[in-house]
Structure 1
């Protein structure tokens, strides 16, 4: 039977020495939405979406809504009743058909589910024709509960730059969660979750980041995509305010220790969305499996 994984994923799995384990867990990847997954989606308040903009740059963004804003219309179709905020790099991209990777997160119960496929715009948002559907393990998810807040009277505001400000560097260096969008063959997009104790993302400069790749489900979807191309988009949610920090750039994998790879990230563009959503979250209860974080060797640099 053909492999569940594309050549880049197979190469990353081989580098890490987990090809046999990947074959086993890969059996969980389907192309339809099971009933239990449909219920999970209906209960969610947040969906992370990864896609490419009109220039081909990858971004990841967050959409939120009341329970029911996500719905499995049938076993092959996800409906999303939300759109990116004005100024979001994906607002224009998702107004047309596009390849997307999505991840629905349940921080309160440390659960997550991925659904990738082809998006098509609708009057309320968009639909996704499912191509890959699967759950992920609960590792590195910080427990949070939703705390809806009134919409900001001025709505979302966007600020775009080509490097991280001092305040943005501080936000990245203290983050405990981010999401990464990457692309495989034929532009197929994946969105993935990364979590750890604050400081697990190192800021090496206003346009350079580095983070460790903690042991996960052995699929190596993101690192496999990066084997084929470096483009990647990052989303760092501001859990307290409902804002978002969106980055697009180029990622390269350091395989010098195959058992503990790391990613170096060069920032090309930064978009900060203040008041992007009306959904905020409680303070985190850190995952008990988060590895300890070493003291950073590179100070934040003012810009």
Structure 2
């Protein structure tokens, strides 16, 4: 985090050039302006970063109550916090080699400068303030070496400061908590089960980096699971996370461009467990990012070199109040089963789909017909990826409270193709979709009489999601709403129904989709159990129709008992549903032969 007098350092300038950021002044303040005093005192947490004797950054979190951090002199920040002295890597680094000097309560006194950075953060009000400088002095004012519990005071000279925006800060209520029960549960690689579980649940972490002259500590937040584990094997672990649209200062990434070493702390606010990591980061831009995480143009991968997993090692606990409205959906690794990340077939880069028809099926579901600029080939049940950016992208914006999700939206959408190709290829393509978000909203409101041309990025879909045909029940397809579409295209090709059972969860108002689907594919109703949720006047005729067509109708949600009788029969389960139902199904079918897709937009 350079000062105003030094402007941007070389790494930051390189990131701005790589990401085509227009020229701007560095807003970092020299010193610690008085206007930041109340923001610091109101922050119940401070994330701290420093560098150990081997040049490796580490990050920790202190605090738990408002007022533990405050400015005590011109440019001086003071902290007074309970700390787990045995396993906290920042405490260990700052007090390293100082045990010979005894304080009043028998603890070590530190009188030296050590490069540091800090992030004062109030998750309840979504406020954060970056600070950089160095340690002046510190003292253990009360310590118990046997239990590892220590209360420390630390003075930090602040040379640079910068207030940050509230984007991606998930609101949490924070309370102080002791660390008497802190216990080291794991070190080294690969990451253990508890550490992997924490990463899977985490909706934020803190990271520290340095370019040599100073340090930077900041926050990264998102929906739970936004941090992905790319590799975890003997002696290695690689994490990756998407860099969401921010203020485009790229101070952290600029540091990493100059010096890839990084220190991370991942807290569990419920239990106080904490994962400390240090390693080396790689910045992934454009295709490098999208080749690892779906629909991501900027990401960071971290090759972990050392870890500590500490049970109950944090001096606070927290509970979720609300998630940031700017959080995009979790973006999955290409190795995970997601329709929009599957391999693409060889389609021409200039292939265009022109909207030529719209058929409303229910109040929220329609079928759209496109004419392709040239004939294309796809297999029944595959998906098509369309680029809506030319129609919807309004360019960069830092904050946009009226539409926060748009700031990380590349407007690339994937839809299952509802029809199979006519012969080896076709120019007519149909998609059946629910209105949800800006892309489908555009399809809904656009007048088909006016050409709407959308670039086709390709067709895709794993071969493992194609069902086999034959006698006996071989395939069980479980669908939620428009998750029926991969089945419709495959069933239309014929020869599938004899070995199929369909469990289909559907909203009451969407029953007309079932009527239309059963009418298009004779015999499909006879192998279907419909689970209808909600209720409304006017759909009773539709329910009677699907019953007359041969479907069994259940006026309730699907449950584990509905799939229990099909387990252990040697069948293959194909799941296509929204994330909530999909998660439950994967739990219910644990140990079965299961493949899945979801239709998250």
Please report the TM-score for the alignment, with normalisation by the length of structure 1.
0.89
Q: Is the 8 A contact 2:41 2:66 kept in 1?
A: yes
Q: Is the 8 A contact 2:57 2:208 kept in 1?
A: yes
Aligned equivalent of 2:133: 117
Aligned equivalent of 1:70: 69
Higher relative contact order (CA 8 A, sep 6+): 1
Equivalents in 2 of 1:284, 1:235: separation in Å?
Answer: 21
Aligned equivalent of 1:176: 203
Equivalents in 2 of 1:80, 1:173: separation in Å?
Answer: 31
Aligned equivalent of 2:20: 17
Aligned equivalent of 2:10: 7
Q: Deviations over 1:207-255 (max 9, x none)?
A: 0111111111111011101111110011111111222111000100012
**Given the alignment, which residue of 253, 257, 262 partners 2:299?**
262
Equivalence map 1:90-239=2 (5 Å): 90-95=90-95, 97-123=113-139, 124-149=152-177, 151-155=178-182, 157=184, 159-186=186-213, 188-206=214-232, 207-239=237-269
> Does 2:64 match 1:44?
no
Give SS of 1:90's match: helix
Runs of 4+ in 1 over 6 A off after TM superposition: none
Q: Deviations over 1:239-285 (max 9, x none)?
A: 11222111000100012359931111101111112222331111251
Q: Deviations over 1:81-133 (max 9, x none)?
A: 23642222222322253111110111001110011001123224221111111
| CA apart distance, 1:174 | 2.5
Equivalents in 2 of 1:260, 1:148: separation in Å?
Answer: 39
Q: Quick one: structure 1 residues 254 and 58, their matched pair in 2 at CA, closer, same or farther if it must change by over 3 Å?
A: same
Q: Is the 8 A contact 2:63 2:176 kept in 1?
A: no
**Given the alignment, which residue of 306, 310, 313 partners 1:276?**
313
Q: Is the 8 A contact 2:209 2:256 kept in 1?
A: yes
Q: Deviations over 1:6-52 (max 9, x none)?
A: 111111111111142xx24x23x112322331111112221100111
Larger Rg: 2
Please report the TM-score for the alignment, with normalisation by the length of structure 2.
0.46
Aligned equivalent of 1:285: 322
Q: Is the 8 A contact 1:116 1:130 kept in 2?
A: yes
Q: Quick one: structure 1 residues 204 and 251, their matched pair in 2 at CA, closer, same or farther if it must change by over 3 Å?
A: same
Aligned equivalent of 2:145: none
| CA apart distance, 1:160 | 2.1
Equivalents in 2 of 1:147, 1:68: separation in Å?
Answer: 13
Unaligned runs of 5+ in 2: 96-111, 140-151, 290-295, 337-601
Q: Number of residues paired by the alignment? A: 293
Equivalents in 2 of 1:148, 1:73: separation in Å?
Answer: 22
Equivalents in 1 of 2:22, 2:190: separation in Å?
Answer: 37
Alignment RMSD: 2.1
Equivalence map 1:52-63=2 (5 Å): 52-63=51-62
Equivalents in 1 of 2:189, 2:255: separation in Å?
Answer: 24
| CA apart distance, 1:157 | 4.1
Unaligned runs of 5+ in 1: none
Q: Quick one: structure 1 residues 155 and 270, their matched pair in 2 at CA, closer, same or farther if it must change by over 3 Å?
A: closer
Q: Is the 8 A contact 2:65 2:175 kept in 1?
A: no
Q: Quick one: structure 1 residues 49 and 152, their matched pair in 2 at CA, closer, same or farther if it must change by over 3 Å?
A: closer
